[in-house]
Structure 1
């Protein structure tokens, strides 16, 4: 769930400790602190300070980066009237969320100068200070990072790339040539940032497609490079398994055509004598819907022409090598059905 301002059950001391001394006006009012007292405490030389509209820091001095994040989240989560309501809720997203997750490819939290906060579409909020309000019609989902509600990794990455694209950061070269690739790699790495649950390449690509970012040449090139590396790793694991199980050596990426030259498909691996093909994660090959349709059409043509097509995912290959080996062994033993003779061009 997204962050929602807590009910009045917590004392002011407990709430300020939970929210790192950052409090909203409605939270103060619910705990018996009148507006007059808040105004007096926030005067020059007073013990409190106003960070954002209706958001206060109950101390003097410069806010810490974490307190800035709390202020942004509380500003977006409150609605100015009631503590909790159906419309309340917000999550930090974009570069700020990636910094909280611990992504090495983005500026560290103290260097983050703007905070993107995602809220439901019906919320009436304006940008304030460094807070940039972003609305969504989709259900808010969040990951707890040090008590702060952050958008899931795929959404945070997409919003960060949109932020850098729209803000001209990529064009100005302010982040360095390898930042895009680094962020994408970290997003899908099983041993990525400690605070970030890894996402699959398919989840990441789906979010980038939803954000209409794949038409940006630099982003598309970085995505293609990431998917190619993931496919190579899965393919290498498959070939290693085939060798370890003493299976026949397959052809890798051959182009299949009919005798008249009509194109059929390019399977990931193919055993021509047995008429068996393996198709790995299509999500690692397809970025656009057109590419998905092209791959599916090739698979259907192979099956129509008698080729036995085995579908495998990298996740299953990693989790169940014995089961995959048995599936391949059975497929090779059975072979294709009424196989039409095909011409091969090795990849």
Structure 2
């Protein structure tokens, strides 16, 4: 991938350029050429997108988030590019070039590519995503994998101003409360709608009477010792997390903890039915007057990580 300006500066004449294009070279974007005639790879498209942005351009938003390793933000079209103001925003084929006055981020160079910092990329990717569950997935993944700090995400939400900030702040609030996956976030939002349930703790640290660490439930109602668990292998960080969930009866039930299991499918198909199950379990536990001898403490929800 090479720009017209680079070719001319390298000594290629305009006549040679006109002759080559369509024979040996391909015009990929205005002023950007592939020195081949075949279809460009994704990597070549990324380089071309940065070149069409011009000097000082960098990849941003969902494009940068994906290149930083966020799997819930796959590379898709349009490729997101930021350029410093006062240069103008414009859409060029499959490239979305946006002008920005926010120039304080640390740009990471990866070969010929320049990537915006991960914290800003995550915030912008969540803003770009029309589906709120998908947006939550981007933020939750970045925080759960300890790639960013919540403080840094909040900084970039503040820096963006009011545009789209309400949804972003709502997502950050859910993550700060301890939601570690999109189904957990759905569950937390669902429980909040209940007029019969007290506020739960999300992913608390549970210890038994002897100080032993117990399985951490997704939601915990401390007044009655009720645990709610999302049962899905896909949304657990690793095999050990999943095994801990599967084996929850061996420690939580031994401590007389009431456990309500829900699945992402059931939450999506009939959330009201799942809420009623949790409400009934909470009421039944309250009627017994017996609470498990378990201590719950709030887990740190702002993990430190490497960020820009």
SS state at 1:127 partner: strand
The residue number in structure 2 matching 1:28 is 7
Is 2:26 aligned against 1:49?
Answer: yes
Find the aligned partners of 1:188 and 1:215 in 2 and give their Cα distance: 19
Flag structure 1 segments of 5+ consecutive residues without an equivalent.
1-21, 79-88, 171-176, 192-197, 245-252, 254-312, 319-347
Is 2:111 aligned against 1:128?
Answer: no
Find the aligned partners of 2:89 and 2:174 in 1 and give their Cα distance: 39
The residue number in structure 1 matching 2:121 is 156
SS state at 2:80 partner: strand
What is the root-mean-square deviation in Å for CA atoms of aligned residues? 3.5
SS state at 1:105 partner: coil
Superposed CA offset, 1:163-188 (max 9, x none): 23xxxx32xxxxxx642222112222
Find the aligned partners of 2:302 and 2:21 in 1 and give their Cα distance: 58
| Aligned residue runs from structure 1 range 6-21, under 5 A | none
Find the aligned partners of 2:48 and 2:303 in 1 and give their Cα distance: 45
Is 2:16 aligned against 1:65?
Answer: no
The residue number in structure 2 matching 1:201 is 150
What's the CA shift for 1:115? 1.3
Native 8 Å contact 1:101 1:145 kept in 2:
no
Native 8 Å contact 2:64 2:121 kept in 1:
yes
Superposed CA offset, 1:258-312 (max 9, x none): xxxxxxxxxxxxxxxxxxxxxxxxxxxxxxxxxxxxxxxxxxxxxxxxxxxxxxx
Find the aligned partners of 1:28 and 1:199 in 2 and give their Cα distance: 39
**Which of 1 and 2 has higher RCO (CA within 8 Å, sep 6+)?**
2
Native 8 Å contact 1:100 1:145 kept in 2:
no
TM-score with structure 1 setting the length:
0.49
What's the CA shift for 1:210? 2.5
Find the aligned partners of 1:47 and 1:315 in 2 and give their Cα distance: 55
Find the aligned partners of 1:221 and 1:314 in 2 and give their Cα distance: 19
The partner residue of 1:104 within 59, 64, 71 is: 71
Q: 1:159/1:317 Cα in 2 relative to 1: closer, same or farther (>3 Å)? A: closer
Native 8 Å contact 1:95 1:160 kept in 2:
yes
Flag structure 2 segments of 5+ consecutive residues without an equivalent.
181-200, 213-221, 223-298
TM-score with structure 2 setting the length:
0.55
Find the aligned partners of 1:158 and 1:205 in 2 and give their Cα distance: 9
Greater radius of gyration (CA): 1
Runs of 4+ in 1 over 6 A off after TM superposition: 230-235, 315-318
The residue number in structure 1 matching 2:141 is 186
| Aligned residue runs from structure 1 range 143-292, under 5 A | 143-145=108-110, 147-164=112-129, 169-170=130-131, 178-190=133-145, 198-211=147-160, 212=162, 213-216=164-167, 219-229=168-178, 236=205
Q: 1:223/1:317 Cα in 2 relative to 1: closer, same or farther (>3 Å)? A: closer
SS state at 1:229 partner: coil
How many residue pairs match? The answer is 198
Find the aligned partners of 1:62 and 1:136 in 2 and give their Cα distance: 31
Q: 1:188/1:221 Cα in 2 relative to 1: closer, same or farther (>3 Å)? A: same
The partner residue of 2:78 within 111, 114, 131 is: 114
What's the CA shift for 1:150? 1.1
